[in-house]
Chains A and B, each alone.
Chain A
Amino acid sequence: MSGCDIKENMELVYQRPNSLTANDTHYCPGCTHGTAHRLLAEVLDELNIREKTIGVAPVGCAVLAYNYFNVDIAEAAHGRAPAMATGIKRIRPDNVVFTYQGDGDLAAIGTAEIVQAACRGELISTIFVNNAIYGMTGGQMAPTTLPGQVTRSCPSGRNVQDTGYPVRMSEMLATLPGAAYISRQQVLDVKGIRKTKKAIKLAFETQLAGLGFSMVEVVTTCPTNWHMTPHQAIEWANDKMLPYFEPGDKKVSDEVAALIKRK
């Protein structure tokens, strides 16, 4: 470890959250999965709910999330995390249950499961990591891939005549009465990271208060499969993704608004 000796009049301002294990992650350099994980872990620590939280990991780059979150956790089949989470929460309503899913897991194969969980107002919280591509399998088109974006399964760029337009899951799920809090945020800069953490915290507070389904969609980067450096990737996400996937609260139910007021 580099750095000077800790001076006597210094206090600890930041360290690895308890809800994150000490394991090194397998994520690529500059992949913002790590940031999203960290924010979720910070929230579990701050709300002091680590010991009653049960997580459900996806299939995707975050398939090994069960090695990184220091909570009881299960690995779901592709897309099925919201169904597993439902099964868990219904039989153990006093536990806090979350799913952590990527764009293939949630917006392609798992569309039915996430829509129905939101529709039923399941008291679970979902972190939806949107990086406009399928990372784990090497960079194929995702439902969130942008028009004209080149991927390994649309090498000439996404043709919307053929494959339709990218899906805005947050806006879609926000139309459901069962969804109490839906927000899209980004972890591309420090300001965005702060807002993402606030949104994740509110999502879990929504669950704790029993107000309905909560989800935070997080716009993230995939330097490796976008064939960019981490900095170029952040720039591309800012320039190209945010105009289409606009950050902001998409659904704040009256009860959640009242909760915010009371804070």
Chain B
Amino acid sequence: MTKELLKGNEAIAEAAIRAGVEAFYGYPITPQTEVLEHFSKRMPEEGRVFLQAESEIASINMVYGAACTGARTMTSSSSPGISLMQEGLSYIACSEVPAVVVNIMRGGPGLGNVQPSQSDYFQAVKTTGHGDFRMIVLAPANVQESIDCMVLAFDLAEKYRTIVMVVADGAIGQMMEPAELPPMRPLRSPDERPAWALTGANGRKNNIITSLYLGAENLERVNDRLQAKLSVIKKEEVRYHEYETEDADLLLVAFGTMGRTCQSVVNTARAQGIRVGLLRPITLWPFPEQRIAQLSEQVRGVLVVEMNAGQMVEDVRLAVEGRSPVSFYGRTGGIVPLPDDIYPELQKLDKETAVPPAKN
């Protein structure tokens, strides 16, 4: 396959189509509207289902309906729209039907603005919706990785009968980069559906899909099952990227666009003699806590860089467990830090954690 110049949002949509998505339901919201528009053009071309819903609430519930039939389905939105979807996400998670959701993050809170941010980390990882559950959260750092994450998302969603959310900041959604799309997967026939799916009780007992379990013992059993599933996911599906960590004695931790920017910071720092490495989580959940714990024994300081007021840094601190100091640099409001903004913070950490020379 050849590389093409692709816009993030369009690449995300096209990657989903190649991965075999059968139904897209969504609503316009900046900075992800191109996802919806690309689907509106391509899904009819491929004979698949596209519908612009009346709201994000309707979108996630249409996804829920289609997911109950065992179809490959997704929606896409941005921060305030994802807030509206939280009820639906909780229902989908408890019902254990597979679904994929994309969040192209923008400045918040509230109506905020349409510039890029990473301030939905807590929303995606900690507070997706009411109740005890987690989604698998993938955080690509560029257009190619966004494509790869979309294909992975559908596979993981179906493997575990869970929600996979792909979070990319608005910059990734809007930027254009050379990237390679995967080949088109053959579409399943409507008869190829899992045994639990709602397809019509033709010659079998009827299937019921619900998230209502009256009776505490019943609901505890369901929760135990969900937690057991999450334990398996935690063990098997952690993904991250490391850069120059082998001999590092300082560590940068950043995801998405900040991960990419921090790679430049590593290069600059190394040229100046600072032995810094980067750990870039790709799965925000399950979080690469084990690897960060390991690295925290190796380094004398950790700098976490995010486009928010400090969200992932809390999980980094939990993983580091006090083994080394953890600093934070973040910008809010849609500001995208440049390497020159981040490097002085690394220099500060380097100075603060410097080992004093041995006295003679």
Contacts and interface: CB of A to CB of B under 8 A. Distances in A.
Interface of A: 50-54, 56-57, 63-64, 66-67, 69-77, 80, 83-88, 90-92, 94-95, 112-113, 116
Nearest to A52: B200
A51 B202 contact: yes
Contact of B51 (A63, A86, A112): A86
Contacts of B73: 87, 91
A9 B220 CA distance: 54
A80 B23 contact: no
A52 B202 CA distance: 7
Interface of B: 22-23, 25, 49, 51, 53-55, 57-59, 61-69, 71, 73, 87-88, 91, 95, 190, 198-203, 206-212
A85 B88 CA distance: 14
Contacts of A73: 198, 206-209
A83 B62 contact: yes
A84 B64 contact: yes
A66 B208 contact: yes
A70 B201 contact: yes
Given A72-B198, A84-B62, A91 B49 contact: yes
Nearest to B91: A77
Given A70-B206, A84-B68, 15 more contacts: A50-B201, A51-B203, A66-B208, A67-B208, A74-B64, A75-B210, A75-B212, A80-B58, A84-B64, A86-B65, A87-B63, A88-B65, A90-B49, A91-B66, A116-B54
User: 10 nearest interchain CB pairs?
Assistant: A87-B65, A87-B62, A84-B65, A83-B61, A75-B210, A80-B61, A72-B198, A52-B200, A116-B54, A87-B66
Given A86-B51, A88-B68, A72 B201 contact: yes
Residue among B25, B64, B73, B88 having the largest count of chain A Cβ atoms under 10 Å: B64
A73 B190 CA distance: 18
A92 B69 contact: yes
Given A70-B201, A92-B69, A77 B61 contact: yes
Nearest to A21: B206
Contacts of B65: 56, 74, 76, 83-88
A222 to B, nearest CB: 21
B interface SS class:
mixed
Given A71-B201, A77-B91, A80-B57, A63 B64 contact: no
A134 B176 CA distance: 52
Contacts of A75: 208-212
A158 B24 CA distance: 42
B69 A88 contact: yes
A80 B55 CA distance: 11
Contact of B61 (A67, A71, A76): A76
A187 B22 CA distance: 41
8 contacts: A51-B203, A63-B212, A72-B199, A72-B208, A87-B61, A92-B71, A95-B200, A112-B58
Residue among A56, A83, A95 having the largest count of chain B Cβ atoms under 10 Å: A83
Contacts of A66: 208, 210
A113 B206 contact: no
Contacts of B63: 87
B53 A83 contact: yes
A83 B27 CA distance: 13
Contacts of B88: 77, 80
Contacts of B87: 77
A86 B64 CA distance: 10
Nearest to A89: B65
Contacts of B64: 74, 76-77, 80, 84, 87
Contacts of A70: 201, 206
Contacts of A116: 53-54, 58
A20 to B, nearest CB: 12
A130 to B, nearest CB: 23
Contacts of A56: 65
Contacts of A71: 200-201, 206
Nearest to B65: A87
B114 to A, nearest CB: 24
Nearest to B92: A77
Nearest to B193: A92
Given A66-B208, A87-B23, A113 B199 contact: no
Contacts of A69: 206
B269 to A, nearest CB: 49
Contacts of B53: 83, 86, 116
A67 B49 CA distance: 30
Given A87-B62, A116-B58, A92 B199 contact: yes
B42 to A, nearest CB: 16
A104 B79 CA distance: 28
Residue among B53, B63, B69, B91 having the largest count of chain A Cβ atoms under 10 Å: B69
A95 B61 contact: no
